[in-house]
Amino acid sequence: MMADFPTVHVTAPSRLHFGLLSFGRKDVPQYGGVGMMVDLPALKLCITPSLNSDWEFCGPGADRAETFAKRWVRSQGDVGPYGCRIAIAQLPPPHTGLGSGTQLALSVAAGLNGFFGRKEMSPCQLAHSVGRAVRSTVGTFGFRHGGLIWESGKLNPPDDAVLESREPIPSAWCVVLIRSMRSPGKSGDAERDAFARLPAVPLDITKSLRDEVSQHMLPAAAATDFDSFGESVYRYGRIAGNCFASVQSGPYGGDELVQIIQTLRSWDVRGVGQSSWGPTLYAMVPHSAAADLLVARIEAEMGAMVDSLSVSLPNNTGATVRVVYDGETSASQ
């Protein structure tokens, strides 16, 4: 007879990454970084008992979900004879700078913990169970906490990173997400090759990035000072992006992305930048009406350069995991 397993629903936000703090040195923590979580595009998956006790995977990203599930099982040891069905209803586009791989991996891990009744894991434990967070852990901490994440990196990789600070983002602020697939981001082997070729980040640059976050970005978010926050995010992203200039032709991943950012800045949109390797760009505005106006202007004046436009609100809660037995929710996070 089939064991009494629940249905588990997981919804996870997307991650915007403003840039790394350091890489290539052994005398300071490696990677680290700053970013924020946004509600859309969201990842949604559901885990249910399998009718024949086998493992089943369906929906966008099913192959990757299967890989992450197998890693989770190996990390847990014996989970018994029963499998489950993992159905992915929504998945943010992969390799576009939104952290969808990490959010899928952590969603699978957190969902399986709920399905098999395992104890709650810390963000880094979740990441270890599915082989993620090799470099930055902004999306890992963001999965649990949401908000603006500052993590200081790892002194001895693969040690766990340290969550330096987490600050909520004012709920009225909006982010316009702009994507041009003519300037694709890096992932997989291309990303590993890029890091192998990059020069180390100078100590004074790492210090200036940390000072930018601690002295400007975080205080502006806490004070709900939108203009100061946007300028700080732009400065941070440009400095961090210049550390990658040798492999992406400047602080951003291509001439078209540079042109879009320069145009937005000329329109007095201050908080603009590239998320991770791109090609997703973000443009921050103080409220939804400003977001609608900006989208309309981008469509009218830069439509030929843009493949997709969307508007998202900040996510200050992280992922939600609902464990339901016979129609009643018994656990959530």
Between these two residues, 2 and 120, which has the higher pLDDT value?
120
Check residue 84 and give its pLDDT. 95
**119/121 Cα distance (integer angstroms):** 6
Give the residue-averaged pLDDT of 267-292. Answer: 97
Selection from 61, 291, 290 nearest residue 176 by Cα: 291
Check residue 186 and give its pLDDT. 67
Check residue 1 and give its pLDDT. 39
pLDDT digits (tens, 9 = 90+) for 197-253: 889 999 999 999 999 999 999 999 999 999 999 999 999 999 999 999 988 878 998
Rg of the chain taking only CA atoms, in angstroms: 20
In terms of phi and psi (left: phi > 0; alpha: psi -120 to 50; beta: otherwise), the region of 32 is left
pLDDT digits (tens, 9 = 90+) for 286-299: 999 999 999 999 99
Check residue 329 and give its pLDDT. 67
Please confirm whether the linkage preceding 219 is cis (ω < 30° from 0): no
**226/284 Cα distance (integer angstroms):** 9
Percent of the chain scoring above 90 in pLDDT: 76
CA 47 to chain centre: 22
**264/256 Cα distance (integer angstroms):** 12
pLDDT digits (tens, 9 = 90+) for 57-99: 999 999 999 999 999 999 998 888 888 999 999 999 999 999 9
pLDDT range class, residue 134, cuts 50, 70, 90: confident
Check residue 11 and give its pLDDT. 98
At a CB cut-off of 8 Å and minimum separation 6, what does 232 contact?
A: 212, 213, 216, 217, 220
Give the residue-averaged pLDDT of 104-110. Answer: 97
Which pTM value belongs to this model? 0.94
User: Is the pLDDT assigned to residue 133 strictly greater than 90?
Assistant: no
User: Is the pLDDT assigned to residue 118 strictly greater than 80?
Assistant: yes
Using CB atoms within 10 A of its CB, is residue 269 exposed (0-12), middle (13-18) or buried (19+)?
A: buried
Check residue 330 and give its pLDDT. 64
pLDDT digits (tens, 9 = 90+) for 294-332: 999 999 999 999 999 999 999 999 999 999 998 676 666
DSSP type of residue 56: E
pLDDT range class, residue 193, cuts 50, 70, 90: confident
CATH code of the region 7-332:
3.30.230.120
Q: Amino acid identity, residue 83? A: G
Check residue 184 and give its pLDDT. 63
**139/16 Cα distance (integer angstroms):** 8
Check residue 79 and give its pLDDT. 84
User: Is the pLDDT assigned to residue 268 strictly greater than 50?
Assistant: yes
pLDDT range class, residue 176, cuts 50, 70, 90: very high
Check residue 3 and give its pLDDT. 62
In this structure, are strands 84-90 and 308-312 parallel, antiparallel, or unpaired? unpaired
Indicate the average pLDDT of the chain. Answer: 92
The domain locations on the chain are 7-332
**309/176 Cα distance (integer angstroms):** 7
Q: How many residues does the chain have?
A: 333
